[in-house]
Amino acid sequence: MTLPESRIDVAVVGAGIIGVCTALELAERGMKVTIFDPAPVCSKTSYGNAGVISPWTCVPQSMPGLWKQVPGWLIDPDGPVSIRPGYLPKLLPWVLRFIAAGRPERLDPVADALFRLSKGSVEAYKKRLSGTGKEQLVQDSLYVHVYRNRNSASLDHLGWQLRRSRQVPVELIDKVSLKEIEPDISDDYEAAILIKQQGRTNDPAGVGVALAEKALAKGASHIQAKVQKIYPDNGAGCKLVTDQGEFRAKKIVLAAGIWSCELLKSFGLKLPLEAERGYHLVLRNPGITINNSVMDAEQKYVASLMAAGVRVAGTAEFAGLDAAPNYARAKRFANQAKKLFPQLNCEEPDEWMGSRPSFPDSLPCLGEIPGVRNIIAAFGHSHYGLGMAPGTSEIVADYVTQRITGDSISPYSIMRFQ
Ligand SMILES: Cc1cc2nc3c(=O)[nH]c(=O)nc-3n(C[C@H](O)[C@H](O)[C@H](O)COP(=O)(O)OP(=O)(O)OC[C@H]3O[C@@H](n4cnc5c(N)ncnc54)[C@H](O)[C@@H]3O)c2cc1C
């Protein structure tokens, strides 16, 4: 099956939250959009995340001195980071770039670039969901970072300083106030830092499905096909070779998450995109309530109440994209979460694993693909894709429609890795 070029203005490769938000934004601007993905909408990484929608993201994953903590994390089976034995030699170049990205002089530029993509995300989701009948999927929330050790909860630490210097509304609270906000939390937690005016969803995939349906209602279409090859077609447009035939489009937005680089290999582009695998455990019959997104600041996992139960999500596991999941990492969340919420009923757990598409500097690649006309990058959102999808979609749509040029989005340029 080959569609004439005029039928598709923009082909979006990938129906994760980045592809769906971008397709909706383009459809709302009057473009004829087709999403290509063999999988159901938001059934991969965007399915199982922690549901945190932050309009304030500005703290990169790589921070000065962080590497000193990593050996301790690696030997702790409950630690937030793990590297599968045998994978380290392959991972090493990425690790070196990750450490370099945490140099003090890189902090502010990266923080500003993260902030730009996340700003306004809660309002943007509310606006997009309005009229879908699914408005309740995104709620106002606090992001509650809880600490067992009172002294660790300091707003003077670098990450909190980065936020405060950008006027992020944060507040240090004591144990009594924490109990008022989250009555079911363990007495072992002595303090918390709140990030205010956040959002959260109790069904991340549901948000994607609602927005995809809205895009379809505005004229977009979804072809359930795996894209095998993309290339510019004699300067005028692009071609997609799929397992369902060939298609033409004026432009292609590549939003295939961790799988995006596979489609760039034929252009000789090698990018340091790593599968930063995360896990979740859902406890279907939790017997407790959690009112907000709650992050154990020391163990670095998030617990929140989803439509399906309490979801505990986190972990950064480096094992390569295709390695089998190690669900023992998800199962450990049961013990950890029980320390956070002692009354939590951990029967009937459901485990899940997904791969964050992570560049070493925590920023995605957006915009031009060097030497390749009409194919536009929109991938690599690491830990923040849910929160950054609306901001990304606006930038990508501005770029597609030539309202902005590559210069104005240079922090996200692929050229930073060439
Ligand atoms: C445990 C965990 C917790 C997280 N918590 C949060 C959080 O609370 N807040 C937050 O903002 N972010 C969070 N994230 C990160 C967030 O989930 C990701 O950044 C985001 O889902 C990435 O979305 P995506 O659309 O780029 O990728 P995906 O959701 O993976 O979508 C990519 C799509 O591309 C499709 N595809 C792949 N190859 C092809 C092909 N050849 N042809 C066609 N289609 C193709 C796939 O089928 C898939 O549907 C978390 C991640 C994890 C793992």
Dist. CA 253 → ligand 1 center (Å):
15
Residue 403: CATH number of its domain: 3.50.50.60
Task: Look up residue 148 and give its two tokens.
Answer: 């067992």
Please report whether residue 411 resides in a domain.
yes
Query: What is the reported pLDDT for 165?
Result: 97
Please report whether residue 161 resides in a domain.
no
Ligand 1 atom 31: residue of nearest CA:
16
Please report whether residue 25 resides in a domain.
yes
Dist. CA 380 → ligand 1 center (Å):
9
Query: What is the reported pLDDT for 3?
Result: 47
Ligand 1 atom 18: residue of nearest CA:
385
List, for residues 240-298, the tens digit of each pLDDT value: 999 999 999 999 999 999 999 999 999 999 999 999 999 999 999 999 999 999 999 99
How far lies 394's CA from each of 124, 222, 233, 257, in Å? 10, 20, 26, 18
Smallest Cα–Cα separation from 80: which of 293, 295, 341?
A: 295
Range of the domain at 386: 5-46+205-271+362-417
Q: Which of 4-13, 191-200, 215-224 has the lowest mean pLDDT?
A: 4-13
Rounded-to-integer distance, Cα 127 and Cα 259, Å: 29
- pLDDT of 2 strictly over 80: no
Ligand 1 atom 53: residue of nearest CA:
278
Q: Which of 103-112, 156-165, 230-239 has the lowest mean pLDDT?
A: 230-239
Work out how many domains the chain is built from and give that number: 1
Please report whether residue 32 resides in a domain.
yes
Cβ atoms of 158 and 102 within 8 Å: the answer is no
20 three-state secondary structure: helix
Confidence of residue 6 (pLDDT cuts 50, 70, 90): very low
Dist. CA 385 → ligand 1 center (Å):
7
Q: Residue 68: count other Cβ atoms within 10 Å of its Cβ.
A: 8
Query: Residues near ligand 1 with C-beta < 6 Å?
Result: 13-19, 36-37, 39, 44-46, 49-52, 226-227, 255-257, 259, 278, 280, 313-314, 354, 356-357, 379, 381-387
Rounded-to-integer distance, Cα 13 and Cα 260, Å: 9
Please report whether residue 304 resides in a domain.
no
Please report whether residue 138 resides in a domain.
no
Smallest Cα–Cα separation from 219: which of 6, 28, 411, 353?
A: 28
Dist. CA 86 → ligand 1 center (Å):
26
Rounded-to-integer distance, Cα 280 and Cα 332, Å: 10
Please report whether residue 337 resides in a domain.
no
List, for residues 104-125, the tens digit of each pLDDT value: 999 999 999 999 999 999 999 9
Ligand 1 atom 21: residue of nearest CA:
46
312: Cβ contacts below 8 Å, ≥ 6 apart: 280, 281, 283, 301, 302, 303, 333, 334, 336, 337
Query: What is the reported pLDDT for 4?
Result: 46
